[in-house]
Every structure is written in structure tokens, then in C-alpha cells.
Structure 1
């Protein structure tokens, strides 16, 4: 329940603070006084309308169940706007999207263009609330689980079929990559070793020429040793040095490599360098090789996987159809009950009886059922706005009677009311008798909802638990709750216009009494 509204600098309102009570709260006033402006400010606090006020603050008793913001009693909703709007709940910042989502089951706004009561999910929700079979809830949950799995399997199968149409092309590309890398058969570190050999090969002629000039030292080796021995000096150091020289010469010898072998080394380096340029490194080339081999293996098994998936889809589809059929049978039995409940309200509001029909539809998470609504012999698309408003009200009242089955999470409010219902001229374009019938239904509905209604009809206003007058003096709007005497005068104005007659006063008094 909303207990308080404060707005500041909101279009024609400089400042306004109102307190609200339970049941039916009605807002009246001449056209252009600011009734819709006030209602939009109220909606903006819940993220359900664009914020245009500098400040909007609302106190509301409700349970929102947010993980990161604790509920308080009351919860305080606040909107501040300078260059952009900022939203707060209990002094904690919250995004508009999260705010509106959290309030969706607490505040319901029925504008002229809104017709969510006739969405198939809402209609089936009402039907399901009247199904008395004990296994229905389990069948419904089982169906939802199977349908989710079926949808996933179908999507996977479609992807597989798409892949299959390109499978030969994909296999050819994978085989090309595999062959390109496998033919070279690279080894990690091989390119570095061959590159070092290439450097030495590039100096082959210079190295051989240098050693040819230095080889003469070996001719004097025995003479040097002889001289050292005659001098009684140890010649071991000289022998070691000469052995080191021989080893160095032999290690740099190119005599064992033919020209063809050298050419092979150069070709190998070029092939490995090509892989490195293409893949970034030899390590990455080996990773691609392993990946493409796995891809090719999967592509070669695609027909097997497709058959397996198709069998799975067939099995799930069979199970889903069987459960959907059980749901349909139960719904067909419950449909007359819903039809009867709705027609009770329609009769009160002077509308012809409606007919509900359960038709087979494309499978969805709700089953195979679609509820069609016809008012008398007329399709919903062809009824007047007044008829549509009364029909919507019948669905809302039935929904409240069934525990608001449209929502899985029912917010807790003061006096066990199921939430807040905001109506924008629901009694527009109606006769006095029709307007009074709507007023009576809303008065009853006020036991379940706290209702905010804009009205230009005295019948609805007379049924209000709290009556607010919106006035505009010059360019400034104001709002206040009326006393009983003030209500009588406002109803008389609504009946006779600017010049209030005695007959209008008498009728207004009769309405209030």
C-alpha cells in the first residue's frame, strides 16, 4: 500500500504532499488541472514512467524481495532529477530497469493502450488457477522442464544441420591445414638449430680458407715439443693446446655435408619459417594441427551426432506432447468455471456474456493451448473503448479473486492487499448506469487492491474511500483530500458543470448516502 506521495517542481506542481488510505482513491478535477501529471509523478517513483519532477518521494508498505536492498516498513522510493534522473530505494541507489522490474508485481498501471489481461499467458494463468486436478501442477512443471530441454536440443540440431550443409567444405579446409603442417612435421626448437647452422654455412669459404692458412702450425708441433724437452720444460700444456685446435678445426669441418644436403637445410628452414609466419610460432602451428584433427574427427562423425540428436528431439517431443495433452484436458474442464466467473462481473457491468475457447497453438512453454475471448458475437478488436475497459476490469477482478494468479510472486502489503492498481479514466465514455457498475466493482476490488483512479464521472467518485481534488489556479496545480461536504460539492460540479444546480446537489448527496 502507498501511504504518502511528495513531489517538487513537477510541471504545473510546485510542491505537493498527499497521504493515501486503503481501498479506492479517486482523483477528480476539471480537464487540464493536472490529474494525469500527478499520476505520472507517482508512477515515476517506481520506474514505470519518465521522471520529470525535481523530486518525487513515495512511502509504500510492500515486500520486494531484492537481494542487495533490504525491505523496510515503509519502503521509501525516491527520484531526483537535474540533468538526468537518479533512482533510490531506502536511500540506496538502484537502476530504473531493476526498480521497475522489482515493482512490476506490486504496482499495475492500466493505461488506455495497455491490454495485458488478454495476453495468452495471463489467460492461461487464470484457467490454471481453477484446475482442481492434483497432478496438474506436477505435469505443468514437468512439461516446462521438458520443453526447455527440447528447445535446446532443437537449436543444437538446427546448428548441426547448418554445419552439415557446409561439411564437405569444412572438411576440405581442415584437411588442407592438417596436410600443410603434417607434411613439414615441425619440431619445437628445430628452426633455431637450423638457423644457427645456416649462419655457419654462410661463412664456410672464409672458415676453410682461414684454417688452410692456420694448418701449418701442425707441421711444427713435434719440433716445438722437442725444443721444450731439451729445455727440460713440461710440454703437456702445448700438447693440450694443439689438441684443442684440432678439435676446433674438426668441429667446423664441412667436408661431410654435400651441396645437396646444404640445399636441403636451406629448404627446411624456409618451410619452417613459412609455418612461423602463418601461425605466429611453431608451437602455435602444432596446436592448430591438433585442433584441426579434432575438428575433422567431429565433422566425420556429424551424421552420427545428427541421428543421435534427432532421436533425442523425437523422444522429448513425444513426452512434451503427451504432457501438453494432459494439460489441455484439464484446462478444457476448468474453462467453463473461468467463463462463469468472468460473466458474473460482466453481468454486473451490463455487458453481454463472453465466450472462451481453448484452441491448439504452436507449442510454447505454456503448452499447446491458446485461449480466445469473444464478447457476445463480437471480436475483441471490434469492441468500443468503454466495453474494453469494463471487460479488462472483469479480468482484473477475477484475477484478484483467484489470488492474482498472473504473478508467481505476490507482494505483501498492508491489510493483505495484493498490490496497487492505477487506472486512467477507466469509466470514460460510459453512461451513468455503466459508470456506477464499474464503481461497484472497483469498490469490491478495493478489498484486494489499493486503487488509484482518475475519473470524470460522479458515480465512481462517490464510491471512493478517499477523494482527492486536483485544482489549477493560473499555472500552478494543487491537490488535497476532500471532506464529505466538499465531496458533495465536487460531485455536484461533475454532474451539472460549472454552475451547480440544486438538483445536482441533491443527486450528489444521494450518491454519497
Structure 2
């Protein structure tokens, strides 16, 4: 709740300091005295608007129980300050804060209803209202809604993953085709490390095969003289073993050479040359045979990732198909519970609408595609009229009635509700009904209300009058006697008669 307001230099106000009570706080006074200006200062302090910002405005508030922030350290009581010098600056607990951050921080706790405001009956807002009531009353519904929304978030994440895969699919297919071509080319050649060196050696031997054969044929005559040479060694009594070993080695080498020539004779020269050409093409493309093999392994792994994407796509499509079906089942159960609660809600609000001279209310459900809130789109009809066609007064009377029904299912909280002439231009009966509803709401909210009607003023827990003398405005918290006089003024004008004073006393009784 707001405990204190202090401001300086706000339009016609020089300086104002007010301490507020819990419950319903009503601001009255002549038209043009500055009531809306004062309310604008409070709204500006919560980041709602920059209009009505004072040179200095400070609010002291009780910290809402659930208010938390990683950027600011909060005590049980908070100070919000605005300074206007060339531009408007905001501070909370002495630390600077942006208007946007301030508004986001307090939007769950500070509500503003104006006859010019026709928001709050959008489908998401109506669904949130029904869900809040159901979740408070039925733990099974709360669990069902939580399960649906958790699974829906996962469903959307998976849908986005599939969308990304499909978007990349064309590029992926082109890339996969190229990778397969590159890998197949290397696999077809199937190169081996050091294979080229061996083939070059064979090529060199093939180029000298004829010379090798001629040399072998000529050198073979040496064996004709082997026995004669051995005889010479024996006659000279010399060791012939060294010569014999050399001749044996020579004979073995000649045999190996003969075998080589026989093998080379069977080699297909064209095949060797073609193979060398293939290996050369790989070397030209990748730098070396080793690098070509490394490249193939890397691209094989890359291809696998693309192929896994295909598998992922198939798995995602299957998951989404099944999950969509199950989400539709959950959403249908949620919708049934909402529609059932909507009928109860319609019945609960009926008597309030009657006192407000408003026709019956009906919730209109239509189905839509899956969303975070299910498959429901919800609208309201007041009689045969959509809420978008209602006047500002009708709109806000309806909103009050819905809020009164809703608070029976809400937890006690210290929220702030600001009402700007919510009871303007209504009849006596409507004014009474509005005052009673706002009084009920004050059990949940601290309410600031501008009013020109006696009934709401009489219900106030704190009555503040805004006055203007010349070019200066001022405020005063009224005591019991002063309240009677102010209510009588509202009834009968600046010079109320005895009947007005008596009626004012009855309203306050």
C-alpha cells in the first residue's frame, strides 16, 4: 500500500504531504481543483505516465510480499522518487531506475481504471481471470493447466527446431550431394599411403625392361667359366670358397632379376599409368594422399551430421504429431473446465449487473489453433453487445462487477487500485451499487478514487478534499464533521441546505 506522498511544484500545487490509510481513499472537490493532477502524480511515480510529474515527488510504500529484484535490495518499506529537471528521472531506494523497469516491476500490484480506458477484456485477460479462479478452487485444474503449458512450451521449441531444419533442408541437400560426390570420388580411387612411390618404381623398371633382359642374356655367359676359375684356384692351392659364394650370390640375383622381368612382362602398363594419373589428381586436389584420406574422414563425419538431421527431422515430425494430438486432448479438458466455470461466473455476477442497470453477461468461447492458453478464444457479450461497443461508463461498471466476483477467490494482497471518476454520469441507484462494489474491493486493494458522487465518498475509509484558491491548489484530510459538510456540498452545491446535511449524515451512519 501507499503510506505517504510528498510532492513539490506540481501544476497548481506548491507542496503536498499526505499520509494514507488502508482501504478506500476518496478524493473530492470542485471541478478543476486538481484531483486528477494529484492522481497523475501517483501514477507517474509507478511509471504509468509522464504526465502530471512534479518537480519532486516521493512515495513511501509497503513492499508487496512477492516483489523481488536482483538489481535492487528491498526492505519492508520502499521509497520511490521522481525528479523533474529538464527530463524526468526515477529512483527506487535511492538507486536510479528506468520508467520501463519501474512500470514492469509494479504492474502486477498497481491497477489503474479510467473511463477512458477500455482494456482488460481481451481474450488472454479473460482466460487468465477464469484460470485464476479455477486454480484457486481446484488443484486438479491447476495441475492440468501447468502440465499443458509446460508441454506446450516444449512443443513450440520442437516446432521451431523442425522449422529450422526445413528451412535449411534445401541447402543441406545440396551440401550432402556435394559431400557424397567428394567422398565417393576418393573411395573409388581408394588410395593407399606410399602406393604412388611403389608404382613409380614399377614404372621406372618397366621403362628399362628390355635393357635388363639384354644385360641378363649377355651376363649369363659368365657361368660358363665358373668351373674353369674354380680349377685355377685348386691348382694354386687357394681358398675357392669366397669365389663360390660370390657366384652363388650372383646366380641368386640373376634368378631374382629373371623373376622380376617375368612379373614385369605380365604388368599392364596402361593400368599403372592410369593409376598414377588418378593418384596425381588427388594430390593436385588435396596436396597429398595423406591429406586426401584425412579430408575424406572429415567429410564423412560432416555427412553423418546431415544424415542425423534427416533422422532428427523424422523424429521431430513424429513427436510433434503425437504431442499435438495429446495437447489437443489436454486443451479440450481445460476448455470444458473454463466453460463450466464461466457459467458459474455468469450466475455470480448477475445480481451485481442488475444493480448496475446492466444486461446479463455471457462468455462466448470459440476454438482456435493451439496456443499457450489452449484452444480457447474468449469474448464477452453484455446483452447482445460486444464489450468493444460499450460506453466508457458501461465498460468500467462491468469491469468492477467482474473484479468483485473475482476477489472472492483471490488471496489477500496489498495491491493498489486507482479509479478516475469511475462513478461519473451515473444515476443514484447505479452510484450506490458502484460504491458498494468499490467498498468490497477495498478489502483486497488500497483504492484511490476520484468521485463526484456522495455514496462513494460516504464509504471512504479516508476522505481527502482538493481545493483551489486563485492559482493555487491544496489538499486536506477531513475529519468526521468535515466529511459531512463535504458530502452535503457534493449533494447540494457550495451552500448545502439542512436536508442535504441530514442526508449526508444518513449516508455516513
Residue 468 of structure 1 deviates from its aligned partner by 1.0
Contact 2:80–2:92, Cα closer than 8 Å, also in 1: yes
Residue 499 of structure 1 deviates from its aligned partner by 4.8
In the alignment, structure 1 residue 368 sits paired with structure 2 residue 385: no
Residue 18 of structure 1 deviates from its aligned partner by 0.8
Secondary structure at the aligned position of 1:392 is classed as helix
Residues of 2 paired with 1:460 and 1:290: CA distance? Answer: 83
Residues of 2 paired with 1:383 and 1:509: CA distance? Answer: 35
Residues of 2 paired with 1:498 and 1:294: CA distance? Answer: 90
385, 390, 394: which one aligns with 2:392: 385
Cα deviation, 1:98-143, whole Å, max 9, x if unaligned, reads 3222212221111334445323333223323236554322221111
Residue 293 of structure 1 deviates from its aligned partner by 6.9
Instruction: After TM superposition, list the pairs within 5 Å mapping 1:91-490 onto structure 2.
Output: 91-128=94-131, 129-130=133-134, 133-169=138-174, 297-299=304-306, 302-403=309-410, 417-490=413-486
Contact 1:422–1:451, Cα closer than 8 Å, also in 2: yes
Instruction: For structure 2, list consecutive stretches of 5 or more residues without a partner in the other structure.
Output: 185-283
Structure 1 residue aligned with 2:508: 512
Contact 1:2–1:20, Cα closer than 8 Å, also in 2: yes
TM-score by length of 1: 0.71
Secondary structure at the aligned position of 2:416 is classed as strand
Secondary structure at the aligned position of 1:70 is classed as coil
Secondary structure at the aligned position of 1:357 is classed as strand
Cα deviation, 1:391-447, whole Å, max 9, x if unaligned, reads 00012212222116xxxxxxxxxxx54311101111122112111110111112212
Q: Which has the larger radius of gyration?
A: 2
Contact 2:25–2:448, Cα closer than 8 Å, also in 1: yes
Instruction: For structure 1, list consecutive stretches of 5 or more residues without a partner in the other structure.
Output: 180-269, 274-282, 405-415
Contact 1:116–1:122, Cα closer than 8 Å, also in 2: no
Q: Judging changes above 3 Å, is the alpha-carbon distance between structure 1 residues 489 and 174 closer, same or farther for their aligned structure 2 residues?
A: farther
Secondary structure at the aligned position of 2:164 is classed as helix
79, 83, 104: which one aligns with 1:80: 83
Contact 1:3–1:20, Cα closer than 8 Å, also in 2: yes
In the alignment, structure 1 residue 46 sits paired with structure 2 residue 42: no
Aligned positions, number: 408
Contact 2:114–2:396, Cα closer than 8 Å, also in 1: no
Q: Judging changes above 3 Å, is the alpha-carbon distance between structure 1 residues 301 and 130 closer, same or farther for their aligned structure 2 residues?
A: closer
Contact 1:146–1:319, Cα closer than 8 Å, also in 2: no
Contact 2:424–2:451, Cα closer than 8 Å, also in 1: yes
TM-score by length of 2: 0.71
Alignment RMSD (CA, Å): 3.4
Residue 355 of structure 1 deviates from its aligned partner by 1.3
Contact 1:352–1:376, Cα closer than 8 Å, also in 2: yes
